[in-house]
Structures are given as structure tokens and as C-alpha cells.
Chains A and B, each alone.
Chain A
Amino acid sequence: MDLKLELKEKLIDQLNLEEVKPEDIKDDEPLFGEGLGLDSIDALEIIVILDNNYNIKIGNPEEARDIFHSINTLATYIEANQK
């Protein structure tokens, strides 16, 4: 499956975004704040998604701010760092 689609499905499932469909999440729109409107607890959930599914650990919170910006930035980081 396309990594971006897979990520959207995992976000919807893990973050209980009940009324959101994968096609509603644009690849380049911000996940936090004005875009999908995720919050700090969601950020923790995304850290768990990356760890459990892609074996990627985010150690530096400052780094996470850029990585979690959008589906595009998440997918790029996963492709570069997946073990």
C-alpha cells in the first residue's frame, strides 16, 4: 500500500478521527493547528505509531515539530529512517 495512504488510515484509526476519511486529509496540509486540528496528546500517539509500525524513535521534541507537520513530511521521514 502507498505509504501516505497507510499513514492516513493509521492516524484515523489510532486517533479516533471518526468522521474523517483518508481522502479528506491532504498530503501537504498541516496536521496540527489549523489543518486536521490535532493536539499534543495526538502527537504522543503519532510517536507510538512510528515506533510500533516503522521502528522509528523520535528522541528530540524539536525535531518532531517539523516531522509531524504534514503527511508529506511524515512519509519523507519514514522513508529515510525506517529500519
Chain B
Amino acid sequence: MRRVFIKSAVSISVLDSFLQEDLSQLSESPNGAWTLKEPNYRDYVAPAMLRRASKMMKMSLASSQTALEQSGIQSPDSIIVGTGLGGMTDTVKFLEGSIRAEEGSLIAPGAFIQSGHNSVSGQIALLLKNQQYNMTHVQKGLSFEYALLDAMLRVKEGDDAVLLGAVDEKIGVLDQLAERMTWPEDMRRQLSEGCSFFVVEGEAATGVEIVEVKISKTEDLLSNLDRLLESHSLNLTDSVQNFVGYSELPKADLPFAHQVYTDRVGRYFSSSAFGFHLASDTLKHQGKPGDFATVIHFSDLQFSSIMLLRRV
């Protein structure tokens, strides 16, 4: 069975992460200031595409183009994206237009076209003129993990390079919804947004290998984590770092050393992609062959995830 490696990684977040060589060296965001640090999109996206693009689309186009450039891949064998909520800005624009429209009148099509969850992967494919496998996974706080599982399967079945992404944008109504769902204030304050894109490939002499991705019942997560590491003859205490994130759950007291990435970039459904990027950079720049790191994402009361990466 082919192994799967990370060829390139690009993230846009509330930290200064875009084009940052090593995310583990990023300075912390000011407490409570969750303002997206965006690049100058005009440097990465054609004006004709940019003028119609929402923030989510701009983040995705800039990150995906850069990840492809860094990998030297012009057109991937698959484009796979994970998103918890899809194009919220365009969804709201379309729904508001529908509400305002009188019976029998037309509604502007632009927002409708881009409000679909798959509009990101579709626009990237259009831009690249890529007609290969194109998929979007929408699984709330595990959207990136399911996209990653799909990407790994594609590589194991023969794809040479897969463009894999995760993106979610924040709009005002999410604050109101979180309040109505009685989220505690410290969780509401962390509502955020971000985007990560990767090129994953099947062959590499050195680099960071994606060893395993496991979806687990949240209540069994810690025992499943031990079992997973044991199956690879690894021990959690030997990990270079354990990166932990939260979507819809409050922070937990965990019985092992770890770093909480959602404390750095905030909570958004696909934030585990940032944790994954952080783990990859940590192993790449600080690890030696054989070292490993875990990314543990507490999604909701039902399901959570474990990702295991190893330096090769």
C-alpha cells in the first residue's frame, strides 16, 4: 500500500501564517483579536475571478494556488475540500435577495452560484481547467478529517498528487447562533475563520508522512488514541508535540502535554487543518526521522478525531 506524504502546505489564519515557512515559529495572536491576516489577493487571483469572490473564495484561491506552486504540481489528480459551513457570505446574500424579491421577480444569480458548499473546489477546478475527481466533504468539525481520508484513499489507489483544502469563513450571524445555543462566552469569543491547503503525494524520500486518521467516539477518544499509537509501537509521551483543538466542546483537562491550536487561531469547523499544518511544520523543522506528532480534534459530544504524522 502506498504511503501518503505532505508535499506543501499553506494557511491563512488570524496569525501571520500565509507564506510562513514554519508555523511553529509564529508569534501569538493578541488575546481575543481574531482578525484574519489576509494576503494581497490581487497578487494571487485574476481580477475577473476576484471581483465575484467572497472572503472564503479568495482565501481558498490564494492558498490553493500557492500550495500548488510550492509543490511544483500544475494540475493535481484530485481536488478535495472540507468545509463545515460552506459559503456563508454568499448564502446570506442569496437568502436576503430572496426575501426582498417580489413574487415573480428574478434573483441575482452570482450569490446563488457561489453559495454551494462545493463552490470552492469547483472554482479551483475551473481556474486550473481541471476535470479530475472533485469532491467536497461537509461534516461539521470533522470536515477536514473526512477530506483527508478521501485524499489518502485517492493516493493509495494511485493518484500522484492531491490538492487538499479546508476552509470556513465567519459571518456575524454565527455570533448570534452561538449565543442562542448557549455557548459559554469564552467559546463564543473564539469564533473565527481560516483556510489551509495542502498538496499530498504518494512518493517521497524524506518529509512528513500522514500515518493515520481516525474518527472516534468522543467518549472513547483517549483510549482509542492509546490503541492507535500502540498499533504503531508508539507512546504518547514520546511525541514531539500533541496538538489539540476544539469545535463545539469546551476545553478539557487532558492527562498529557499538549498545545491548543484553537487558542491560537480560534474555533472554526475546519480548524483541525491548521493543527495538521502546525504539526507538519513542527516535525519538518524540529523533528528527526522517526519522530511523530498527533493532532487531536474534539469536534462535538458524539465524534472527534485523531491524526498521526511522522517524520521520515
Contact = CB atoms under 8 A, between A and B. Distances in A.
B113 A52 contact: no
Given A51-B105, A52-B105, A45 B110 contact: yes
B106 interface: yes
Nearest to A52: B105
B205 interface: no
Contacts of B2: none
A45 B108 contact: yes
B109 interface: yes
B51 interface: yes
A48 interface: yes
A37 B48 CA distance: 8
A8 to B, nearest CB: 16
A80 interface: no
A41 B113 contact: yes
Interface string B244-287: 00000000000000000000000000000000000000000000
Interface string A24-52: 00000000000001010100110110011
Interface residues of A, number: 15
B46 to A, nearest CB: 11
Nearest to A57: B106
Given A51-B105, A52-B105, A41 B51 contact: no
Interface string B89-129: 00000000000000001111110010000000000000000
Interface residues of B, number: 11
A65 B113 CA distance: 22
Contacts of B106: 47-48, 51-52
A18 B51 CA distance: 7
A60 interface: no
B105 A41 contact: no
B92 to A, nearest CB: 16
A76 interface: no
Interface in B12-63: 47-48, 51-52
Given A51-B105, A52-B105, A41 B110 contact: yes
Contact of B48 (A14, A39, A47, A51): A39
B108 A17 contact: no
B52 A41 contact: yes
B51 A17 contact: yes
Nearest to A16: B51
A37 B51 CA distance: 12
A15 interface: yes
28 contacts: A14-B108, A15-B51, A16-B51, A16-B52, A16-B110, A17-B51, A18-B51, A19-B47, A37-B48, A39-B48, A41-B52, A41-B109, A41-B110, A41-B113, A44-B109, A44-B110, A45-B108, A45-B109, A45-B110, A47-B106, A48-B106, A48-B107, A48-B108, A48-B109, A51-B105, A51-B106, A52-B105, A52-B106
Enumerate the 9 nearest inter-chain pairs by beta-carbon distance, A residue then B residue, closest first: A16-B51, A44-B109, A48-B106, A51-B106, A48-B108, A45-B108, A18-B51, A41-B110, A52-B105
Interface of A: 14-19, 37, 39, 41, 44-45, 47-48, 51-52
Interface of B: 47-48, 51-52, 105-110, 113
